[in-house]
Amino acid sequence: MVQVQIIESKDFSYNRNVETGNQEQMNAVLHIINEVKTHGDQAVKAFTKQFDRVDIEELLVSEEEIQAAYAKVSQEYIQTIREARDNIRRYHEKQKQSSWFTTEENGTVLGQKVTPLDRVGVYVPGGTAAYPSSVLMNVIPAQIAGVREIVMCTPPGKDGIPPIILVAAKECGVTHIYRIGGAQAVAALAYGTESIPKVDKITGPGNIYVAIAKKMVFGMVDIDMIAGPSEILVACDESADASYAAADMLSQAEHDVLAAAYCVTLSRQKAEEIHRELEIQLAQLNRNEIAKQSIENQARIIIAPNRAEMVRVINEIAPEHLEMMVEEPFSYLGEIRHAGAIFLGRYSSEPVGDYFAGPNHVLPTSGTARFSSPLSVDDFIKKSSVIYYSKQAMIEHGRKIAGFANEEGLDAHAKAVAIRIEKEGL
């Protein structure tokens, strides 16, 4: 038996929690950051010994090690990685923005220049959470953006770095790989050490210490979002196949006991069908224990009386992953205001987007889709405004600008304009 909470939409309210770590964890991370700032490589190696129980001499992974990794991965898997990489590249190419400018007849030129970041660091977690898809999803947008140097940090692991991680990194264009993990890796990327270059932005998932470290170095460098537990919301009308809805909920639930699988349906009957399917399919899963805990503690099946209420629940949850298992799924796009990724129709199961289709799988969690976007090329560029005022533009507008400055009480601002007007008799 698996217990799933089935509730009516009027009784559902979504409480997001975005706390990152407790005081003890924060103090531990602050200590690590300060040590790495002061002692560089030496501190990084000491923490690696302490936390990863690995003695490392050389932080940089050599080209030979990467080549050796290729021999340990099947050709078929490498081919799938390449096909996924090409799909991800093609989608992200569409996100590239151009510099632009406008002109006026008085000579004014205004513009916006787009420049890639110089250097970024991608964190790739170790252990059971080492996913090559995560390498592709973090690295490719940076590469498409034009970032010259993309460095990757990943824990050394007792048996070394998983070969597939090295292969994925090589296939998508990582410049340098360092065998370090945890808060010490984040600190090294933020402040630089003898071996590890300081970067401008750090992206990628990690455990609570990595998340705290990223939050602490934010400002010194940029970071991507702090990811919370993964979520899915499956929206079903009468046309939905309950077994597909349950399978997709379970694909989220197997990630983590804190992962949340929600479902919103238009009838109690559909809710009960899905409940039964969850029970049947759970029994067949390898990660059965994790998935069961997630389903019992985090999952909700919400019954909405009508379409409008279903949409309200969707926007209230602002889910990381949203599946619209409904008739005419495209007709909902206008009403859906908050979601990381929207999967439309009966064949668009979440794993399609996790691995292969092209859009990024790094998505806003815990309701942050209200204001955040999937990881994209935008995250690896920045913009500069460009302003050119001609003599004629200064003649036309200079006095107004000086007047505005005077009204704000900023007399040196006014004088910076006035000196030009006076000196050149404009």
Contact with a second copy (CB under 8 A): which of 33, 172, 210, 226?
A: 226
Angle at 254 between CA 156 and CA 54, to 5 degrees: 15
Establish whether 413 is an annotated binding residue: yes
> Taking CB under 8 A as the rule, does residue 357 contact a second copy?
yes
320 is known as an active-site residue: yes
- Residues between 155 and 184 that touch a second copy (CB under 8 A): 164
How far CA 136 is from CA of 54, 141, 357, 409, in Å, comes to: 26, 9, 12, 52
State the DSSP code for 61. Answer: P
Shortest Cβ 45–a second copy spacing (Å): 26
**Which stretch in 14-22, 49-57, 170-178, 180-188 sits in contact with a second copy by CB under 8 A?**
14-22
Burial-class residue 326 by CB neighbours within 10 Å (0-12, 13-18, 19+).
buried
Nearer to a second copy, 51 or 351 (CB): 351
**Which stretch in 25-33, 61-69, 267-275, 378-386 sits in contact with a second copy by CB under 8 A?**
378-386
Q: Lay out the site mask for a second copy across 252-291 (x = CB under 8 A, - = otherwise).
A: -xxx-------------------------x--xxxx---x
- Dist CA 156 CA 55 (whole Å): 9
**Which stretch in 28-36, 62-70, 170-178, 215-223 sits in contact with a second copy by CB under 8 A?**
215-223
How far CA 339 is from CA of 12, 182, 308, 372, in Å, comes to: 18, 30, 16, 9
Shortest Cβ 405–a second copy spacing (Å): 5
**Which stretch in 36-44, 52-60, 300-308, 334-342 sits in contact with a second copy by CB under 8 A?**
334-342
- Dist CA 209 CA 397 (whole Å): 54
323 is known as an active-site residue: no
Structure tokens at 326: 């409904």
Contact with a second copy (CB under 8 A): which of 41, 149, 256, 378?
A: 378
> Taking CB under 8 A as the rule, does residue 311 contact a second copy?
no
Contacts of 275 (CB under 8 A, 6+ apart): 2, 4, 6, 301
Instruction: Decide: helix, strand or coil at residue 242.
Output: helix
> Taking CB under 8 A as the rule, does residue 320 contact a second copy?
no
With DSSP H G I counted as helix, E B as strand and the rest as coil, what are the percentages for the chain, rounded to 5? 50, 15, 35
- Of the candidates 171, 231, 320, 350, the residue annotated as catalytic is 320
Q: Which residues are annotated as a binding site for substrate?
A: 230, 252, 255, 321, 354, 408, 413
